[in-house]
Structure 1
């Protein structure tokens, strides 16, 4: 009798393992189907051709418009909207490096209103959302006010945030998305 129970237990292991693997596979497929699309961001500006269709790039924890073709301009923004960790607030995740692969959060500095990127703690100290995207472009709290400000020959990104005093002097731009296949390209 004991050997019969042992035999049944041994026979049940492959069946249980197969079912568990099937459930895991289904969950992975569903998770993949629910992944938000990855995108990069480009500027649109009706008043200045210099500021139109320039990619948002990341460098030294700040965001810039790439107005040059220089590869040293910064890491190209590549991200998606997801809930901020331990929050119900839609936030913006971006790749910050290809090698080694790394991700960070886009946020607006509360003091300067500069658009920056950083880790969870850094973003948590700033305005990390809610970010949304619609037909008019990227916005925060339903506000579309992005401003490119020239600093030492580069165009740093700032945000006019609802409820903040004072206007930022610079060129008003919209940030529009362009789909990309993956956040971090595979090595060849």
Structure 2
């Protein structure tokens, strides 16, 4: 089977075309493990690519926390951030910041039980993929290659349901928290100890958030460096094709409703 996209997860290699196939050990292990898991249709669904939108409880949508509702997760400066989303494009208002654009993938590590990780592209040119992880000490959500992530909490990531707009979980817990590190600048953390992140300091505001999967279709997929056929160049299965078609239909229906409401 031809691989036309190589994951830069072992030593942060850029994603390259079929003419330059070169698979490092960490990538090969992840691909091999994913092959095994894909026999289960639920794992095929987890290979669908998605952005992450932010939802907060209605009671928290006030003051400076209101900006979190409907925001998008971005990746830059080695961390995950919560930023304003352009309602027209669905991408960050700050165009130089890369939106989280990822999917689930088995984390390759012989020294820990089988773990479902999450990867994301971190740049458009070159399109590179890194592992998402929770920092052992600070509980910040960060990204790195395998060597930079392996000593931290790399999973297990999952979702709340099989619905296309379900939320992601970590260790079966929606414990994600937005922390205002500077006025108006929010970073993503995980409440590992389930104590409201007491260790972050009283000076920083913390708000519980849900991370909603927004399945990517059409031109969005190509723009962020991933092909239509599948994240790793594998031909999409009928199961994935069916789910992707449902996502596209749902998106078209929502766009039609928005256009009707605006009188266009």
TM-score range, shorter chain: 0.7 to 0.9
Aligned to 2:48: 37
Q: Which of the two has greater strand per residue?
A: 1
1:43-102 deviations in Å (ceiling 9; x for gaps): 101222311111100011111001362213x21001001100235200001111110110
How far residue 121 of structure 1 moved from its aligned partner, in angstroms, is 1.1
Cα deviation, 1:135-165, whole Å, max 9, x if unaligned, reads: 4611110111111111223100110014779
User: Aligned partners of 1:114, 1:170: CA distance in 2, in Å?
Assistant: 12
- Alignment map for 1:107-186 (pairs within 5 Å): 107-135=133-161, 137-152=167-182, 153-162=184-193, 166-167=197-198, 169-181=205-217, 182=221, 184=225
Once the 2 structures are TM-superposed, how far is the Cα of residue 179 of structure 1 from its aligned partner?
Answer: 0.3
Q: Name structure 2 gaps, 5 residues minimum.
A: 3-34, 86-92, 228-264
- Distance in 1, matches of 2:209 and 2:104, equals 20
**Partners in 1 of 2:176 and 2:109 — Cα distance?**
27
Q: Distance in 2 between matches of 1:165 and 1:155?
A: 16
Aligned pair partner of 2:109 in 73, 77, 86: 86
Is residue 75 of structure 2 the alignment partner of residue 58 of structure 1? yes
TM-score normalized with structure 1 length:
0.74
| Counterpart-to-counterpart distance in 1, 2:196 and 2:174 | 16
Q: Distance in 2 between matches of 1:85 and 1:93?
A: 12
Aligned residues: 157
**Unaligned 5+ runs, structure 1:** 1-23, 26-30
SS state of the match for residue 209, structure 2?
A: strand
Give 2:84's aligned residue: 67
Alignment TM-score, normalising by the size of structure 2: 0.54
Separation of aligned partners in 2, 1:41 and 1:157: 12
